[in-house]
A and B are shown apart, each in its own frame.
Chain A
């Protein structure tokens, strides 16, 4: 096996325990049903451990070694222990079990079975994918060897490094796992940490969809996401690979759901700030996506301006924005010292005027490539054969009381699509770029996409007269 099974499970636990500690300190998440809390906890754990190590290494020269990793990972659970002990044990899990329904259980079972296959692959096969070996895993090796994110291989322009300015959150997470478990250079327990982003994403999606669309549409939306082969088994971007797109989808999606959750808890703002900051530290696209998530939160604030709790909503958004600002400042400081090379470096050669007329004239050549990706069975199975019809039949589910959620979600979904369109408009080989990035960009926007789908499902189930009771609660306040 490519990794010791115990170390692989330990890799997941390292982040999950840190994240569960954080959720114990954040009342909004502590009140969330346990399975969904687990999803947020995993994402928060990675964001906290890798993000803090990134900052400590760059700003204070703290060596990225086991003592630092364990200290950072154990601070949240140590601080949260009194709160967790005061709370009656797993009461939210019992609540969840009391209310379970067969559809939710089926979605949970299929999600667990698919996640098990992904984990099995992570423990059996070494890293074989393109970006994993070209960028993320290679960077992790240089960072681990010198114990710092400011490794000389990155800092000195003569060394051959691909995309040396790509943010390092995931390589730092890899290093944390390797150091924590004293892994040899060819052992890869960190692959399990990448694999665990899939169940985390599904749990976060279920939480958001259940709040705004109800239990049955949430289960169906989660089942639909599980059934997209690319998310789990896409060799160049899915959970079995060492790409950063699925983690980015998780950070972006979870931050967005927390920002849009109705009850304006400041702790949700803090958690959203941590997650969206992690999005900025995960990939170059993470920065615009994090800012777009904040804009989506701002849009919701505007739509609910007449509501009673606008001041609290504004403070929640401000806390999230502060988290993003801190992360982007760290990124800018780290970037500044690294000479760029082996990189497309769009910012250097692209002017605003370059997008015209490519944004229009390239549609006939790039559009079919994108469509072909979506209709490829190995990538999406039958999803795109059914989804357009569902959107057509159910889009009115976005109107009325749910407008305060659906409009911010539409804005959030537009982000990855706009990034794709912009890149394809100026790239020198747009068809090739679309072939290797379109599925991944769709995945980055998957949480808003599937949440909108859940709202359509709710509407369609109601119209088809299939057991959907009218929901009395204002949806934005769930």
Chain B
């Protein structure tokens, strides 16, 4: 079966939807040469991310093998990962 989401780097803990994905769709992604199946907990629009594993609060969201921000609440496997649960680490002088 074709993959309908993409994992850029083997270190990533999120995948990106290549098509609009529904809660009931079987989602298969290739991670480091292995295909894994993920059960989505919600609909994911095209270009948006979902978690490949549970990510605790305050942990890095990894895409492209790099941290793209920190979680502001725990994120479950298959959950939508976006501005509602992730924050940039840039330009937060108030937290230095």
Q: Do A and B come from one complex?
A: no
